[in-house]
């Protein structure tokens, strides 16, 4: 059983790697960005609220995000482990997650940070904008999301580094190559099948 976080700047491939790890380890991958996008698509009140922030590349307020994560982490499938992708993104969210985990008397096994330099990320995200039409993938919004990552999320990474559960993984390279690095960085992973370790 593994409980872990994957943190990385926008465009670092964390969503793709999170899916592969969750498949390889048989644990739930929980992406706050995906949950928000599902709400936007479904036209729910939460989606309408979240969209205002997402389109501008801003963080959705903690009052919305934290409650959503608490509720997702209370579902049965996370009892056998989980991988949180895209949360926590701020120091305040770290404190909130600490509270959720402490109440359940569980701890994180590892926090992975995917690294890549900003210009490479902008290039990748502009490519993704052309391919998928994601509404938060234009250059001004992309640069704003990167700035927020540096200002707000790097302190999150530093906090986990102080707890000595942080491992940095180079996110530059082919998808399979990065997956291999990610899997190597997870301590004692109990994999569901070797075939999943692409
Ligand atoms: P992502 O797919 O992880 O890049 O997230 C897409 C967008 O969803 C972000 O730019 C934010 O607007 C919002 N979002 C995702 N996770 C969080 C979070 N932990 N806190 C606040 N906003 C978030």
Distance 197 CA to ligand 1 centre (A): 27
Tokens 């926008």 belong to 10
Instruction: Give percent of the chain above pLDDT 90.
Output: 85
Q: pLDDT of 127-182, one tens digit each?
A: 888 887 776 778 899 999 999 999 999 999 999 999 999 999 999 999 999 999 99
Average pLDDT over residues 69-86: 96
- Phi and psi, residue 84, nearest 5°: -90, 130
Instruction: Give percent of the chain above pLDDT 70.
Output: 95
Q: What would the two tokens of residue 82 be?
A: 């989980």
Hey, CA dihedral for 130, 134, 135, 137, is it positive or negative? negative
> What is the model's pLDDT at position 178?
97
By the 8 A CB rule, do 7 and 14 touch?
A: yes
Atom of ligand 1 nearest to the CA of 136: 10
User: Catalytic: 143?
Assistant: no
> What is the model's pLDDT at position 193?
53
**Strands annotated E in the chain:** 2-7, 28-31, 81-85, 110-115, 166-170
Please, what is the average pLDDT of the chain?
Answer: 93
Distance 104 CA to ligand 1 centre (A): 25
User: Catalytic: 14?
Assistant: yes
How many secondary structure helices (H) and strands (E) does the chain include?
9, 5
198, pLDDT greater than 70: no
Which domains does the chain possess?
2-185 (3.40.50.300)
29 pLDDT band (50/70/90 cuts)?
A: very high
53 lines ligand 1 (CB under 6 A): yes
87 lines ligand 1 (CB under 6 A): yes
Average pLDDT over residues 100-109: 96
Spatial distance between the Cα atoms of 181 and 42, rounded to a whole number of angstroms: 36
């Amino acid at each position: 059983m593994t409980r872990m976080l994957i943190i990385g700047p926008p465009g670092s491939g964390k969503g793709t790697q999170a899916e592969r790890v969750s498949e390889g380890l048989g644990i739930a991958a929980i992406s706050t960005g995906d949950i928000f996008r599902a709400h936007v698509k479904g036209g729910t009140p939460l989606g309408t609220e979240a969209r205002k922030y997402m389109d501008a590349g801003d963080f959705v307020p903690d009052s919305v995000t934290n409650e959503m994560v608490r509720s997702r982490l209370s579902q049965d499938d996370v009892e056998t482990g989980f991988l949180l992708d895209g949360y926590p993104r701020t120091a305040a969210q770290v404190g909130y997650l600490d509270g959720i985990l402490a109440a359940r008397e569980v701890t994180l096994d590892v926090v992975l940070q995917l690294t890549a330099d900003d210009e490479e990320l902008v290039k990748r995200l502009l490519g993704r904008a052309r391919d998928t039409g994601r509404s938060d993938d234009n250059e001004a919004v992309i640069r704003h999301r990167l700035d927020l990552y540096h200002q707000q999320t790097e302190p999150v990474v530093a906090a986990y580094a102080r707890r000595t559960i942080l491992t940095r993984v180079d996110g530059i390279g082919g998808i399979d190559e990065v997956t291999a690095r990610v899997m190597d960085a997870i301590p004692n992973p109990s994999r569901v099948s070797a075939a999943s370790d692409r």
